[in-house]
């Protein structure tokens, strides 16, 4: 049996009395015609341009074929379209629609393709602190970290009265010998522990951290940076930081209290807390036993730990019994008693943080933020930011016609469109299937983007 072959045609069983054969000979075609919408979003936000401005280019100008902005846009667009590997770009560099959105429909020189290949993009991702023989494009990680917060604020015409910052860490399993690898006992494997911060659907921070450090303590650096940046532009905005029990650390809570930032964190239960709500638990248990249905009750009280906290804080308890099993939960907050009833605070405010986990899943499953296979942490951090950039563009596009859709749905409904590219002297025509089922959503997104473009 042959292990390697070159097939020009693929035969399939006959249908309708005719021979069926497939060929890859369609000419100037693309399977990603809808990415032209992403380009329009990118042009309006100026995101690729601003992202590229966070790099220092030390290449010799005479030998530069692809600008940093070209490389950045190509990488982000590739991730938005679902191409996670740099190897994919050896074929994508010939894609006419990818060339169109990059402003390079044909190469500037006769012996050059329109877009960069995998090796050139790899040198971009391996940006180091100092230029060497192979990496002369240097990423400014501080500038990249602040860019996402600036993009979030730029999308608001006026300062909101209050914002909620959701913070959470997740595991990014690694299989090689990457720098900073560590085993995490909770997840049971070797991984990184990236820390995400969102405000609603807006991604504000994605920081790659090693799994041998406490995310609750490490989050203080990112939260303080983001709060300072937001308050420099919006000095009167009220900020609430929300997270699970992993972030209920005295250092973080004390910083929030000293800087007038509210917090709402989960609190791990212990025997002292269970004893504190023993009477409430008994009442709820009696109700559940009598009715045969789940029952819950809530309480609010001031609390201080034996050793770890430096001051008393408000704790809200949920006592719940279901099927004769106890499901008690606790949260700690700075929100005062008079402004938030315990049940509302737990069910409506705290539990809403769970939606952030869906955003993290989108980043990992739809935009491949867990593809951290480079050797160094800096290169993997840059990969994480490229995925975050693709998330920002897709969510901005989704707001035009698919407000509640995930990134994967936006990609399948608006971007993955078979397209024939026709180039003439005066215009470029993208011919898409007249039976495309999501024409209405495409038209709506196009119309809204045009209005936004004209308004700006």
Same domain, 242 and 339: yes
Q: Is the pLDDT assigned to residue 373 strictly greater than 60?
A: yes
Structural tokens at position 15? 């249908």
Identify the CATH number of the domain in which residue 305 sits.
Answer: 3.90.350.10
Residue 378: inside a domain: no
> In this predicted structure, what is the pLDDT of residue 2?
47
Same domain, 205 and 233: yes
Residue 87: inside a domain: yes
- The residue range of the domain holding 280 is 142-366
Same domain, 332 and 405: no
Last residue of one domain, picked from the residues 366, 384, 418 = 366
User: How far is it, in rounded angstroms, from Cα 369 to Cα 361?
Assistant: 9
Residue 164: inside a domain: yes
> In this predicted structure, what is the pLDDT of residue 105?
72
Roughly what angle, to the nearest 10 degrees, separates helices 35-45 and 439-455?
Answer: 20
Q: How many Å separate Cα 219 from the centre of its chain?
A: 17
Same domain, 107 and 211: no
Q: Is the pLDDT assigned to residue 78 strictly greater than 50?
A: yes
Judge residue 237's burial from the number of C-beta atoms within 10 Å of its C-beta, 0-12 exposed, 13-18 middle, 19 or more buried: middle
Q: 18 vs 131, which has greater pLDDT?
A: 18
Residue 14: inside a domain: no
Q: Is the pLDDT assigned to residue 23 strictly greater than 90?
A: no
Q: Is the pLDDT assigned to residue 113 strictly greater than 80?
A: no
Whole-angstrom CA distances from 239 to 104, 224, 333 are 43, 12, 13
Rg for the chain, CA atoms, rounded: 26
Same domain, 283 and 249: yes
Same domain, 99 and 238: no
Residue 415: inside a domain: yes
Please compute the mean of the pLDDT values over residues 207-211 and round it to a whole number. Answer: 95
Same domain, 194 and 320: yes
> In this predicted structure, what is the pLDDT of residue 114?
80
Q: Is the pLDDT assigned to residue 1 strictly greater than 70?
A: no
Same domain, 272 and 324: yes
Mean residue pLDDT of the chain comes to: 91
Number of domains in the chain: 2
pLDDT tens digits, one per residue of 220-255: 999 999 999 999 999 999 999 999 999 999 999 999
pLDDT above 90 as % of the chain? 75
pLDDT tens digits, one per residue of 142-190: 999 999 999 999 999 899 999 999 999 999 999 999 999 999 999 999 9
- Residue 456 pLDDT grade (very low, low, confident, very high; cuts 50, 70, 90): low
Same domain, 41 and 159: no
Dihedral over Cα of 177, 181, 187, 189: its sign: positive
Over the range 243-254, which residues count as b (16 or more CB within 10 Å of their CB) and which as e?
Answer: bbbbbbbbebbe
Please compute the mean of the pLDDT values over residues 100-122 and round it to a whole number. Answer: 75
Same domain, 123 and 146: no
Same domain, 401 and 339: no
Same domain, 227 and 283: yes
Q: Is the pLDDT assigned to residue 325 strictly greater than 70?
A: yes
């Amino acid at each position: 049996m042959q292990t390697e072959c070159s097939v020009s045609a693929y035969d399939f069983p006959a249908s309708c009395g005719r021979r069926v054969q497939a060929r890859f000979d369609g000419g100037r075609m693309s399977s990603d015609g809808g990415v032209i919408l992403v380009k329009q979003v990118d042009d309006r936000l100026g995101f690729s341009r601003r992202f590229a401005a966070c790099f220092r280019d030390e290449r010799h100008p005479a030998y530069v074929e692809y600008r940093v902005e070209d490389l950045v846009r190509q990488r982000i667009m590739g991730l938005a379209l679902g191409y996670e590997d740099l190897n994919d770009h050896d074929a994508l560099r010939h894609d006419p629609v990818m060339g169109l959105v990059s402003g390079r429909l044909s190469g500037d020189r006769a012996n050059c393709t329109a877009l960069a290949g995998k090796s050139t993009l790899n040198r971009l991702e391996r940006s180091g602190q100092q230029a060497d023989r192979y990496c002369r494009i240097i990423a400014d990680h501080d500038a990249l970290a602040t860019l996402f917060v600036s993009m979030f604020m730029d999308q608001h015409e006026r300062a909101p009265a209050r914002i909620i910052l959701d913070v959470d860490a997740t595991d990014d399993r690694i299989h090689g010998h990457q720098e900073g690898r560590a085993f995490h006992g909770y997840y049971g494997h070797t991984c990184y522990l990236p820390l995400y911060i969102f405000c609603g659907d807006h991604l504000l921070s994605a920081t790659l951290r090693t799994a041998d450090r406490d995310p609750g303590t490490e989050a203080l650096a990112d939260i303080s940076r983001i709060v300072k940046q937001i308050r420099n532009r919006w000095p009167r905005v009220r900020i609430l930081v929300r997270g699970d029990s992993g972030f209920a650390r005295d250092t973080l809570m004390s910083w929030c209290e000293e800087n007038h930032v509210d917090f709402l964190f989960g609190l791990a239960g212990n025997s002292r807390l269970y004893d504190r709500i023993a009477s409430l638990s008994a009442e709820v248990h009696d109700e559940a036993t009598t009715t045969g249905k789940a029952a819950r009750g809530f309480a609010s009280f001031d609390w201080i730990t034996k050793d770890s906290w430096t001051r008393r804080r408000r704790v809200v308890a949920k006592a719940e019994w279901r099927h004769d099993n106890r499901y008690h939960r606790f949260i700690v907050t700075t929100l005062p008693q008079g402004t938030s009833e315990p049940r509302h605070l737990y069910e409506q405010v705290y539990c809403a943080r769970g939606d952030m986990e869906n955003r993290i899943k989108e980043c990992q499953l739809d935009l491949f933020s867990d593809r951290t296979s480079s050797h160094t942490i800096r290169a993997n951090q840059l990969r994480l930011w490229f995925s975050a950039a693709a998330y920002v563009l897709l969510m901005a596009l989704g707001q035009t016609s698919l407000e509640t859709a995930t990134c994967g749905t936006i990609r399948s409904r608006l971007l993955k469109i078979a397209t024939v590219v026709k180039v003439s002297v005066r215009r470029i025509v993208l011919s898409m299937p007249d039976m495309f089922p999501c024409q209405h959503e495409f038209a709506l997104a196009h119309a809204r983007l045009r209005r936004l473009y004209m308004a700006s």
